[in-house]
Structure 1
């Protein structure tokens, strides 16, 4: 028969244990095994006063932020509401049923104040990375690098040409504008004004890199270990190729300095195959460049390309298919290029002239100062380990897809380069925690209740 819920007298006491109501295989229960914030208070101690009213526990704020980024809840107001209602969130944040949830304004005050001044979010990221290292998820041999464009919180219609951008420094300026102007003042040399500048977030880059209409954006740069796809470092830059490539050097050096890990090979796409970057990898860091060479010298019209000329390192010259030399004066051009020229007399009666230099009196070949490093990359491109590396590069692309689709970070909420750095660090921390939960915690019959990793 049909049952009915009886409404009786409300009991005076409840026997309720929050621990019993969080499923054993819940994502947060698995993540909690690997999140240790025991050193957070010591890290932040210099930034708090020894007197006065006690503040909200910073460990509580960090745990709430991790909940938000793990489940794609990026509105701090909504995050406070969800933690108030969700038992699993309360359990992870060490809140009992009777404990009050901090106000959403507390996050802004701490994020722009103590957390940013003490680099707390990077501290938490590196503590999680240390746990990944301790659990054996980092091989330390192959690293992969890539960047992904994330839209800035800036209206694409509210921009001005870079040469027209100006602010009254005597008036009250927003935080992103102040940070942008301070960065300009601190720059060692003046830079060319950008094509378009946002008045609300001037550090964001006007870009159409993903295709389609241009918009303001930042790039999140990931350096990952290819063994388990653990993120070793993350760096926020304007969405510009030069900034992304330069961020690679910063991250590789930082990982080597802080964790004493240097890869045997570095995997990247063609954007990282410039002569300068390859020279840095091969000559300075002794890292194998598993990167396609950025090369525009090869011809596609059937005429003789540079690969048809033999390089003689000892003689410092090229040899054409007919065995004639091409020599240089030894003085590089402004872009660190040496020009090797053949003799006009050798080319005049050559039977291959129509295929080699039909419109000039002699043949010229440009050789980068770092051409030897480019040759190393070209030789590696034909090896089996290079083919394996191209498959491993997909791991970083999968992390970007996870970042945008599961963590819902396809548009920033915080403005300025520092705001982008905060968001990217929190997202990378959440991804590493989820990675450990997926690789190290056994999944039982209740696995279906956990959010996909």
Structure 2
């Protein structure tokens, strides 16, 4: 028999908030795994101790933002509405069923006035990493780094052309010193200090809406104004250990070594190896990793193809003992100079090349001369490239998609990481740090549930990496 339902909303029931939240709910697991008590002592210096109206509890505020990023809630106003009706969110925030929820403007005003110029979000992120280390979920032996783009809140067709300073890589000072040493070893005069190694400025597109965003032009990527989230995850359980935001026109290699050093210093990581994609396969990164005693495994980077009918650079053989290149015709290309970008130039003899039967396939130079360049750190780059072909290097390359690439996929699919919610570099950086902290806390639950049974990579001396299960 079909019965007509009766209204139940006005019935008086005796319940507790704790009984309404399922025992296996994610917020219960995170509440048990992460200690948020550090937040209030961390930010108390930003509040007046004896004047003004009572402030919203900072722990409650950041835990509310934490919920928003954890569950991919698209805006702070929407977040407040969800807290009003979701008993699990109220339980997590220690709010009663009848407690009034703060206004959405409270979050925006605190962000703009109190926390905009502080590094509170970075410190919160670091504290969560320290808790992961304390629970044995992070060991810092093998780190994986990559970047992903977040679309800025800016129209790609509304911009101005401006001259801005170029980003400076972390290894440029070491490269300048190496260039001077290499020229001295070959009997060349030092380069003039006053002459710049390359132009210090460039003309680029600057958004009228969000000037901090960078105009991105990459193969296979959308064009427009974006930010880049440079993220590092630990190889043990894929826990995020660092996130750093730059405009999208900053190359991945620019901040990499600095962020790696920050993790080693801040968390005491004894990094044995790193897994990187082909975008990091540069001589500067290879040399930086060698200087730090870290084994690098990078993806394959395709070299520039020669024009049809012309001989490729790989057909010229380098003789390290004589420091010369030998062409397919058996003639030597002698060392000429070392330029400001760190490349040694090896040039052929025009008198010999003029009568060579391979001349038309070798060079179209007006002087009938072929020039081959070799970076002063090429030996280190070749060594790092060779790691990719070793058994342990193949395992690290394979693990990339299970760690940092999966981390980005989850962030975009579940945590609203496709778009920058706020304008300006500080807002984008805060978003990525809090979103990574929330995503990392969800990783706590999975890692503790797995009982640390996932593979962990350990470095056993120089040049040897072994996998343990």
Q: Is the 8 A contact 1:267 1:393 kept in 2?
A: yes
Report the equivalent of 2:390: 383
Report the equivalent of 2:208: 199
Give the counterpart of 2:244 among 235, 239, 244. 235
Q: What pairs with 1:35-434 in structure 2 (closer than 5 Å)?
A: 35-52=34-51, 53-162=53-162, 191-194=201-204, 196-209=205-218, 211=220, 214-242=223-251, 244-282=252-290, 284-292=291-299, 294=301, 296=303, 299=306, 301=308, 304-320=311-327, 324-329=331-336, 331-344=337-350, 347=353, 356-357=362-363, 361-394=368-401, 395-434=403-442
Show CA shifts across 1:294-316 (max 9, x none): 56466475765443444333433
1:99–1:272 distance in 2 versus 1, CA, 3 Å: same
Tell me the CA shift for residue 318 of structure 1. Answer: 2.9
Report the equivalent of 2:181: none
Q: SS of 1:115's equivalent?
A: coil
Gap regions ≥5 residues in structure 2: 165-198, 452-469
1:7–1:38 distance in 2 versus 1, CA, 3 Å: closer
Question: Could you state the TM-score of these two structures normalised by the residue count of structure 1?
Answer: 0.82
- Give the Cα separation in 2 of the matches to 1:342 and 1:318: 9
Tell me the CA shift for residue 135 of structure 1. Answer: 2.4
1:416–1:310 distance in 2 versus 1, CA, 3 Å: same
Show CA shifts across 1:404-440 (max 9, x none): 2211221112110101101111111111111111222
1:292–1:307 distance in 2 versus 1, CA, 3 Å: farther
Gap regions ≥5 residues in structure 1: 165-188, 444-453
Show CA shifts across 1:278-328 (max 9, x none): 22222x322222114656466475765443444333433334456643321
Q: SS of 2:346's equivalent?
A: strand
- Give the Cα separation in 2 of the matches to 1:210 and 1:85: 45
1:76–1:358 distance in 2 versus 1, CA, 3 Å: closer
Q: Is the 8 A contact 1:77 1:104 kept in 2?
A: yes
Q: Is the 8 A contact 1:150 1:219 kept in 2?
A: yes
Please report the RMSD computed on the Cα atoms of aligned residues, expressed in angstroms: 2.9
- Give the Cα separation in 2 of the matches to 1:210 and 1:84: 45
- Give the Cα separation in 2 of the matches to 1:312 and 1:210: 35
Tell me the CA shift for residue 252 of structure 1. Answer: 0.5
1:7–1:253 distance in 2 versus 1, CA, 3 Å: closer
Q: Is the 8 A contact 1:34 1:128 kept in 2?
A: no
- Give the Cα separation in 1 of the matches to 2:314 and 2:371: 13
Question: Could you state the TM-score of these two structures normalised by the residue count of structure 2?
Answer: 0.80
Show CA shifts across 1:10-54 (max 9, x none): 777x53211111111111111112221222222112211111332
- Give the Cα separation in 2 of the matches to 1:8 and 1:62: 36
- Give the Cα separation in 2 of the matches to 1:220 and 1:34: 26
Report the equivalent of 1:22: 21
1:95–1:332 distance in 2 versus 1, CA, 3 Å: same
Tell me the CA shift for residue 239 of structure 1. Answer: 0.7
Q: Is the 8 A contact 1:60 1:93 kept in 2?
A: yes
Tell me the CA shift for residue 342 of structure 1. Answer: 3.3
1:267–1:105 distance in 2 versus 1, CA, 3 Å: same
- Give the Cα separation in 1 of the matches to 2:355 and 2:7: 107
Give the paired residue count: 414
